[in-house]
Amino acid sequence: KIVENTDILIIGAGPSGSVAAAYLQKMGSTAIVVEKTKFPRIVVGESLLPRSMDHFEEAGLLDNLMQKGFEKKLGARFIRGNEICIFDFSKKFGKGWDWTWQVPRADFDLALTEDLQAKGVDLRFETEVIDVVFTNGKSVTTIQDKNGNQSQIQAKFIIDCSGYGRVLPRLLALDTPSQLSPHSAIFTHIHDVNRPAGQEGIQISFDIIEREVWLWVIPFSNGNTSVGIVAPTTYIEQLSTNDSLQEKLTNAINASDFYKKRFGGLPFIFEPKHLKNYSKAVHKMYGDGFVLTGNSAEFLDPVFSSGVCFATESGLLAAKLAYKQLQGENVNWEQDYAAHMEKGIKVFTTYVKEWYTGNLQTLFFHQPEDPDVKAKICAVLAGYVWNDDNPFVKKHDNLIKNMAHFINMSKE
């Protein structure tokens, strides 16, 4: 078997792996990236958060992305019957980017990896990690190419960015049940032939059908729109009398008063994808010689589009710390990595939970709006969940609940 040596092995070339690889290349470190599929490939996660722009910028990936003409995302709209709540990132509390993109991930991830290749990153598509053995923190990874040829890579450190491939959580039994109740999603892309002119046509929106059931509408600059339904797994199962994903998604679209005219009856570009019980968690995010990032470490819920932001935040931080460690410096992975990531996860977990209890929806749709409260929640929805100057970050565990309670009391 051919044995190669590298300082760092990155598993997976999604946003997390791409940001990590770009940073390490910039620092002159030796890294190999292995990616199981051939890009472009379809993957979910199309609504980005402004916080990720910081990561793309620092990794040196932003200039190339800027030239691709992706649809700008300036905020997000939540709809509940006749009630509308629009968040405008330019009105958020605190510092940070006030826009990002809404992207077909096939094109977006391809753009990221083309830039990596242009920068000289050793990136191998159609190469799958099938086994990893650790000895005293050093690892030997068995990879397999599309023709079934196997070889080995010895790495001083592994950054696992394998998303739902969850390579190291599987091999090292690191999985733990998610704290969130089981939810599932079905989505596809649609040629948006009825797209209205102006802002309405490109407005990214979340339409609440029932308290725990919502439809996403993410228009792209290529004229297509991503449409997806998210709900408790039991609801998704009952959406049609048979197992047809086409029928389930069609029924979900028809349940949206706001969108059934625009999308009802239009053909789907690809067979809808089913993401069943999508929330994932691990009991340990790092170990001797490795770290987990992005979806390989944790995925909460799509409702606030935090997935890619978490992937790039963790990918960049993991790369920085791994680089530091290989330079001979001491790294406290618990404090510098796990505690940082868990802090952000905790804030978003509260928001996700309070979304499904209805408390956050009470705040979103309360009239008259309080611009100060809105600006602070908006900063969270932009991904700035590490800013303790924001009370909606710092006191996340009771502020939403208390405010919703107060609003409900005042209505009685």
* Residue ranges that bind ligand FAD, judged by CB under 6 A: 11-17, 34-37, 43-48, 128-129, 161-165, 167, 185, 275, 278, 294-296, 299, 302, 305, 307-309, 311
Q: How far is the CB of 367 from ligand FAD (least distance, A)?
A: 27
* Nearest-approach distance from CB 167 to ligand FAD, in angstroms: 5
Q: Which is nearer to ligand FAD, 11 or 209 (CB)?
A: 11
Shortest Cβ distance from residue 410 to ligand FAD (Å)?
34
| Least separation in angstroms between CB 283 and ligand FAD | 18
CA–CA dist 97, 312 (Å, integer): 15
Report, in Å, the least distance between residue 312 CB and ligand FAD: 8
Residue whose CB is less far from ligand FAD, 279 or 362? 279
What minimum distance in Å lies between the beta carbon of 105 and ligand FAD?
A: 7
**Phi and psi angles of residue 8, each rounded to the nearest 5 degrees, phi first:** -130, 135
To ligand FAD, the closest distance from the beta carbon of 104 in angstroms equals 12
Task: Please say which residue, 304 or 362, places its beta carbon nearer to ligand FAD.
Answer: 304
Residue with Cβ nearer ligand FAD (13 or 381): 13
Task: Select from 382, 351, 47 the least CA-distant residue to 228.
Answer: 47
Q: Where are the alpha helices (DSSP H) in 228-285?
A: 233-237, 245-254, 260-263
Taking the least distance from each CB to ligand FAD, the nearer of 92 and 366 is 92
Residue 130 CA to residue 123 CA, distance in Å, equals 17
Q: Note the Cα 316 to chain centre separation in Å.
A: 14
Q: Which is nearer to ligand FAD, 179 or 408 (CB)?
A: 179
- What three-state secondary structure class fits 284? coil
Q: How far apart are CA 268 and CA 258, in angstroms?
A: 19
- Tokens linked to 360: 């956050």
State which residue, 208 or 399, has the beta carbon closest to ligand FAD.
Answer: 208
> 124 - beta bridge partners?
34
Tokens of 168: 């190291």
Phi, psi of 304 (to 5 degrees): -110, 20
Residues 281/272, Cβ–Cβ less than 8 Å: no
